[in-house]
Amino acid sequence: MAGQGLRAFNAGEFYHQHDLFEAQWVETAGPVRDLYRAVLQVGVAYYQIERGNYRGALKMLQRSVQWLYLLPDVCQGIDVAQLRRDSYHVRAELQRLGPDRLDELDRGLLKGLRWQPPQASST
């Protein structure tokens, strides 16, 4: 299911990715839940941008910071460090533009998740 969420996120299906990552979040115990919550919140922010909801997008990006901050740079194969940089850049650009200029936001800033498959050990 997390793989499906990743593919949906990267396809720009930000509403659908929310459902997939939320299901993972509910079913998962332990710290990895924070990963799913952070990713789905960034995805929801991107969805709100597409809908023209400045306040909703900014709120979700600000919420995601607390979860992204706690995560290692790579978690479950997801490049969290890159997601942090990307989402922080989107948030800064949103704040720079303000609500009246949301339509000017470069949608190319809404980047996909980078996944790093685990390295096989050489023993």
**Model confidence band, residue 24 (pLDDT cutoffs 50, 70, 90):** confident
Task: Report pLDDT digits (tens) over 87-103.
Answer: 999 999 999 999 999 99
Distance CA 18, CA 95 (A): 24
pLDDT, greater one: 52 or 21? 52
Which residue, 59, 101, 52, 76, is CA-closest to 1? Answer: 76
The average confidence (pLDDT) of the chain is 90
Tell me how far apart the alpha carbons of residues 45 and 18 are, in angstroms, rounded to a whole number.
10
Asked whether the CA dihedral 58, 11, 13, 52 is positive or negative, the reply is: positive
Report the alpha-carbon distance of residue 87 to residue 57 in Å, rounded: 11
What pLDDT band is residue 58 in, cutting at 50, 70 and 90? very high
The encoded tokens of residue 38 equal: 């952070």
Which tokens belong to 52?
């023209």
Confidence (pLDDT) at 1? 53
Distances (CA, A) of 2 to 36, 43, 52, 69, 75: 8, 14, 27, 20, 12
| 24-46 mean pLDDT | 90
pLDDT in tens, 60-87: 999 999 999 999 999 989 999 999 999 9
Alpha helices in 1-123 (DSSP H): 2-10, 14-27, 32-51, 54-70, 80-97
First vs last C-alpha separation in the chain: 30
Pick the CATH number of 2-109 from 3.40.50.360, 1.10.3450.10, 3.30.70.270, 3.40.250.10: 1.10.3450.10
pLDDT at res. 26:
87
